[in-house]
Structure 1
């Protein structure tokens, strides 16, 4: 999940992406290092407050090359140079960030470049990484003891449970809560990749479509005035259709693998026990508090903001993030060691996500600026695609344009771009433009599953699965899965509902 400070303020700033990803290893260490470093940096750049003045219409498409470069690095390096990538992916992400920031500073001035960086960090990256770390830590302290056996029926039931929970506790929360029990249940299976892939499709994406708590794009819509239960009413049928089909396809595929003679390993890595139990139950309370803090930041609007180098940081978001850090530290302090050991809990997955998405957040900034420039920007062709000759919205094109861009640009900022292209008036979009808003919302949430970087928990789930020995497909391999399974389903969804 991810949170933008104040969605309206974000639209007034140089179009920085409102997305969700963060960096950390030890959250306490992160809070001691990152924030003081930012403070020192800010004091050295007194002119940076003017950085939010750049118009995306002045940028050429070439400024998107560093973003394309980091995507290609994620896709290609693990295949052609896995050892190099494993040891230096953070440096590679940093190199692409510098490949954008240095020419940008030369071309538009250091204050504007620095302001763009600060906006990406404070308004987008830090809130995201704080929330993701909190969910990762708290959910990682809940350990299901005993040994579940990954049969088609059990696996399908766990996927259905996670799908239902995703709209209540968020896709990231549901994914972090259930991925480890699911992996442990299937650690005696020869084929487990499809289980994780469908988990990403369902729990990490489609399941979060029924409330603003479910997925970051819908939360941003809520911040911009969309009713809390509007998506529950208008996305229920598309969500049920997609999830029912995916669960049915998964059950058939899992049953096929399960029936093969060599599927079950002779020795189960997780020995049977007399009963199923839960350790670290206190984290359920902390998880509820995390959800409450997310909701609070969207409802409580004291109107107090802190201007940092042209980026407006709202008081409610500062309170939320500080409280989330406190909950993260509290979870580390009160969780029994046995619970984390049972989950094989470590910081490697979130470290990988944090480093890569730091680079993605920085390099995507000019791409979002150009998209927000609309017909005046380098990507004006996309704007022309979603409206007919008379200027009326084409719902099916809003669904596909929002969705396909969400696959690679992260779904939350993409949602905001098309929300504003459609008029940006929540009251009008919820009534006369309801079908268009539904198409934008569905495209952003559902098609975030198309790639590993489409939604925050996708990469987290991949990293956790790999840390538990599952050989997950690479970037292109995952695209093949989503192309074969999801694209026909989205075509049917577009034809039926939009």
Structure 2
């Protein structure tokens, strides 16, 4: 699942100009909601798909090579199977909260979400917890509540297991041992999550003190928690079980695009949707809007980014040596290029420098054992920096969409980066990289 294969060796690299549709799509995602919100709301599917078709036409009519498109289709379907199934199943579990949260309760909630993200994935944890998060803070919720939720639960929290975030699952499929990430990255995870929680607590304490007295009294009310739709925990188990299907089933596809794990995930999502009581979905305000938005935009992204990834994988654009260089380079692209294929691109480049192949399980195991600092850097860079923008990781857009539909102010694409990811997240990730990557020799 989420397997990104290099284009056939004989295919010529695309010209640099073919990166233009990808750049244009990123600019549209960033700027259209600011300057043409009404047009973008109604026509973003057409824009995303049209730009993707420009890239597709280049490979069909100029390169006359279907292989990159086939790989992108397989990758996209697998991506949507994982993200979509966790979205649907988590949407069938309703957590009701009575009473409001203090800064300490909020901080504990985010920590629980960071741990849970490693069990049901960042997508599952995000979809399960975003609605109670909004309800807990409904009297004083602001943009930073949404942003820190994305930072911690939708991204950084999922850095301990392959289930946690798609890039790590991709590495697991290629041969990285399941518990390798936990053994090698837990200290960096603890530092990153700890620093983010500390900063959040300060922000939230200030927000709490500024709230009117009657709101603060509500905030200190006793919290009561109610759970409905717990049958869906079974379907979450089915999705997670698909992760551990035997390798020969992992590699089996239908029509060359639908992997067996992806089909299992789609089936689990369908069973969950039709077996969940309507009142549970209504209580969650469940609808397919967020996953449709992710589906359309990432269809365009997965197509338009093919030339960029091919140029990157060729080695002509990757002249890196130290783990810290891999950490920041993987991170810089993961913030905008989707962190799953970016992870594999830099893993392939790093292994290529050691004359190893990312397509060989034995080589991946050898690389993980003998070049752990490089793999740590690539893993952390992909997962942590996925929080750098709304398009760095699938759950980010979903959380924003749910917040918008709940009438909560979520920052725009540009405001998210200008006011939060660059001044707050980036310094923290620089500290984490310098302490946990630079010194890991």
Give the TM-score normalised by the residue count of structure 1. Answer: 0.81
Q: Distance in 2 between matches of 1:185 and 1:303?
A: 40
Structure 2 counterpart of 1:324, from 244, 249, 265: 265
Q: Distance in 1 between matches of 2:49 and 2:249?
A: 36
Structure 1 counterpart of 2:158, from 194, 202, 208: 208
Q: Distance in 1 between matches of 2:214 and 2:19?
A: 47
Structure 1 counterpart of 2:340, from 391, 396, 412: 412
Q: Distance in 2 between matches of 1:199 and 1:265?
A: 22
User: Counterparts in 2 of 1:388-407, with a 5 A limit?
Assistant: 394-407=322-335
Q: Give yes or no for contact 1:188–1:264 (8 Å, CA) kept in 2.
A: no
- Cα offset, 1:252, TM superposition: 0.7
Q: Give yes or no for contact 2:98–2:223 (8 Å, CA) kept in 1.
A: no
Is the counterpart of residue 371 in structure 1 residue 321 in structure 2?
no
Equivalent position of 2:425 in the other structure: 486
My pick for the range that moved more, 450-459 or 427-436, is 427-436
- Cα offset, 1:101, TM superposition: 2.7
Q: Give yes or no for contact 2:305–2:337 (8 Å, CA) kept in 1.
A: yes
Structure 1 54/405 Cα, relative in aligned 2: closer, same or farther at 3 Å?
farther
Equivalent position of 1:180 in the other structure: 131
Equivalent position of 2:200 in the other structure: 250
Q: Distance in 1 between matches of 2:289 and 2:10?
A: 37
- Cα offset, 1:430, TM superposition: 2.0
Structure 1 283/482 Cα, relative in aligned 2: closer, same or farther at 3 Å?
same
- Cα offset, 1:304, TM superposition: 6.3
User: Counterparts in 2 of 1:91-106, with a 5 A limit?
Assistant: 91-106=46-61
Cα shift readout 1:148-180 (whole Å, capped 9, x = no counterpart): 413212211110000001111111111111111
Is the counterpart of residue 85 in structure 1 residue 40 in structure 2?
yes
Q: Give yes or no for contact 1:220–1:412 (8 Å, CA) kept in 2.
A: yes
My pick for the range that moved more, 426-435 or 480-489, is 426-435
- Cα offset, 1:305, TM superposition: 4.0
Structure 2, unaligned stretches of length 5 or more? 352-357
- Cα offset, 1:431, TM superposition: 2.4
Structure 1 counterpart of 2:98, from 124, 141, 147: 147
Structure 1 54/153 Cα, relative in aligned 2: closer, same or farther at 3 Å?
farther
Structure 1 170/54 Cα, relative in aligned 2: closer, same or farther at 3 Å?
farther
Is the counterpart of residue 300 in structure 1 residue 252 in structure 2?
no
Is the counterpart of residue 219 in structure 1 residue 169 in structure 2?
yes
Structure 2 counterpart of 1:280, from 212, 229, 239: 229
Q: Distance in 2 between matches of 1:286 and 1:221?
A: 24
- Cα offset, 1:491, TM superposition: 1.5
Structure 1, unaligned stretches of length 5 or more? 15-51, 388-393
Equivalent position of 2:374 in the other structure: 436
Equivalent position of 2:190 in the other structure: 240
- Cα offset, 1:116, TM superposition: 3.4
Q: Give yes or no for contact 1:162–1:178 (8 Å, CA) kept in 2.
A: yes
Q: Give yes or no for contact 1:144–1:277 (8 Å, CA) kept in 2.
A: yes
Q: Give yes or no for contact 1:176–1:461 (8 Å, CA) kept in 2.
A: yes
Q: Distance in 1 between matches of 2:237 and 2:162?
A: 15
Structure 2 counterpart of 1:116, from 53, 68, 72: 68
Q: Distance in 2 between matches of 1:150 and 1:84?
A: 38
- Cα offset, 1:203, TM superposition: 0.7
- Cα offset, 1:102, TM superposition: 3.0
Give the TM-score normalised by the residue count of structure 2. Answer: 0.90
Cα shift readout 1:296-347 (whole Å, capped 9, x = no counterpart): 2xx4325864585xxx55xxx6332222222222112221222111111111
RMSD: 2.3
1:278 alignment partner, SS class = strand
- Cα offset, 1:295, TM superposition: 2.9
Structure 1 261/168 Cα, relative in aligned 2: closer, same or farther at 3 Å?
closer
Equivalent position of 1:158 in the other structure: 109
Structure 1 426/148 Cα, relative in aligned 2: closer, same or farther at 3 Å?
farther
- Cα offset, 1:93, TM superposition: 0.8
Structure 1 358/95 Cα, relative in aligned 2: closer, same or farther at 3 Å?
same
Structure 1 116/196 Cα, relative in aligned 2: closer, same or farther at 3 Å?
same
